[in-house]
Amino acid sequence: MNSSANFQIDVVIPTQTKYLNLIGSIGEHIGKDLEDFTGDREALAYHLNLVLTEATTNAIKHSNSDDPKDTVRINIDIQEHELIIRVYDHGQGFNLETIPKPDFDHPKEGGMGLFFIRTLMDSVTYKNRGDCNILEIRKVLL
């Protein structure tokens, strides 16, 4: 993949964790194939796998559990110098700003997913768009 190959991947999955491997693997392949990325591509591939896995897990957790036909949409937009991940859920939503950072001196089992997204990517927003919520994650590719 070179920098002129701007493209998008759009996937809609049922709200089931068995699809996490598929979604994470897409991120891993994208990371490994970004030939113009000058940093550590193996690390980027892992990070994209992780961030997509965490974001999709989060969307599944926040999905409408009363609806067996509920879905999560994942859109990956690869531009010349930026990668944008958008994850759409139909749940109640949450306030991104109120989620605390993990306490490393007293580690707990939960709460590390969003920390990974915030730490490994460049920006994260979560917005309600009426019929769904959108978690948008941006990573500058240089």
Partner 1 sequence: MNVTDEKINGFNVLFVKDERIDAHNSTVLKDYLLHMIEQGEVNIVVQMEQVRFVDSSGLGALLSGFKHAEAKSGKLSLSNLQKQVLSMFELTRLNRVFEIHRDLDEALEIDN
Position among 3, 57, 64, 75 found at the interface with partner 1 (CB under 8 A): 57
The C-alpha atoms of residue 24 and residue 47 are separated, in whole angstroms, by: 9
- Told to check if 119 binds partner 1 by CB under 8 A, we report yes
CB of 27 to partner 1, least distance (A): 11
Position among 31, 37, 48, 53 found at the interface with partner 1 (CB under 8 A): 53
Residue 30 neighbours by CB distance under 10 Å: 21
Stretch that binds partner 1, among 6-14, 44-52, 71-79, 125-133 (CB under 8 A): 44-52
The C-alpha atoms of residue 62 and residue 96 are separated, in whole angstroms, by: 13
The C-alpha atoms of residue 116 and residue 20 are separated, in whole angstroms, by: 16
Identify whether the C-beta of residue 98 lies closer than 8 Å to the C-beta of residue 141. Answer: no
- Told to check if 43 binds partner 1 by CB under 8 A, we report yes
CB of 53 to partner 1, least distance (A): 5
Stretch that binds partner 1, among 45-53, 65-73, 85-93, 130-138 (CB under 8 A): 45-53
Tokens of 1: 């993949």
> Looking only at residues 58 through 97 of this chain, which bind partner 1 when binding is defined by CB under 8 A?
60
Q: Which residues contribute to the site for partner 1 (CB under 8 A)?
A: 17-18, 20-21, 24, 42-43, 46, 49-50, 53-54, 57, 60, 102, 104, 107-113, 115-116, 119
